[in-house]
Amino acid sequence: MCQYSSQNGLPTEWHMVHLGSRAVGGAGLVMTEATAISPEGRISTGCAGIWNDEQMLVWKKIVSFIKAQGALAGIQLAHAGRKASMDLPWSKRRLVPITDGGWLPVAPSAIAYSEDYALPEEMIESMIEKVVEDFSNATKRAIKANFDVIEIHAAHGYLLHEFLSPLSNQRADKWGGTLENRMRLTLKVCKRLRALWPAEKAIFIRISATDWMSGGWDPELSVELCKQVKEIGIDLVDVSSGGVHPEQKIITGPNYQVPFAEKIKKETGIAVAAVGEITDPEQANEIIKTNKADFIAIARESLRDPYWPRRAAAALKAEITPPLQYGRAWNG
């Protein structure tokens, strides 16, 4: 999911993940999703970005509003890679051709995600370095916009995940082949952003723990990656899965990704967030109580039920402070 923009990547509507966290001071965290670091890094023609100051100033207003409600504000920085230049997800057409406002996607290898997606351009060294600079510049703007948390999007078949997975990365240079080479770009981005981002503020990374495909990225490789991002100073791994290959066979169900988060937490010691078909307050609380994860991220359920935090607080007998304008009706 991403924010949607009427023009020029300016946010006009945004989807949010609500994430309660001890590591961010016990406050609720509102996370904007898939915010593009460059025009070519957008997933769709309607995605918002943070690649210029005009966008940053709009985000700054949104951040101010979020904080006025007593929450913290986070932004997920993303590059779509070969899954770029698409139409809005509810549109009847998918791929937007260059002749109609689309653009040429880039990727570690010139392999299309599927026949419904564009054939991407294989990235040369200067293009890879530009991605690092784009992440860096987006982070500098996130600082100016006063965000509390940034999350590096390295999941769901987007650019950083494309470099990690041998299914999408078939390079023979220093950016491909061995695990060390395939992790190189993600780790370089993590190092650069950790150096730029204020030391007292948290950085998350979102990963796909498995490709759900033989010969692809898997939980053991995820553990190795997470050991290294922990050494860099990344504070939390947001553990999702899939998205890099259309023939993936995902076995879904309540808590279906929680074992991946639990494995990473136990084998690396880094804090993790559990996501995916977590819809019930008691279900979410049990994951935390049994130490399978440190955080619960609620996304789609919060779109279906914007009052999920209040419902969860009531179910778990926790006290929360309502928005000021809701106060008169909160308990009556």
Q: What is the pLDDT of residues 162-203, one digit of tens each?
A: 999 999 999 999 999 999 999 999 999 999 999 999 999 999
Q: What is the pLDDT of residues 41-89, one digit of tens each?
A: 999 999 999 999 999 999 999 999 999 888 899 999 999 999 999 999 8
Q: What is the pLDDT of residues 125-158, one digit of tens each?
A: 999 999 999 999 999 999 999 999 999 999 999 9
| Catalytic residue, candidates 4, 113, 117, 158 | 158
Distance separating alpha carbons of residues 109 and 117, to the nearest angstrom? 14
Q: How many residues does the chain have?
A: 332
Instruction: Give the global pTM.
Output: 0.92
Distance separating alpha carbons of residues 139 and 133, to the nearest angstrom? 10
Q: Are 191 and 233 in contact (CB under 8 A)?
A: no
Q: Structure tokens of 163?
A: 């470099």
For residue 158, indicate whether it is catalytic. Answer: yes
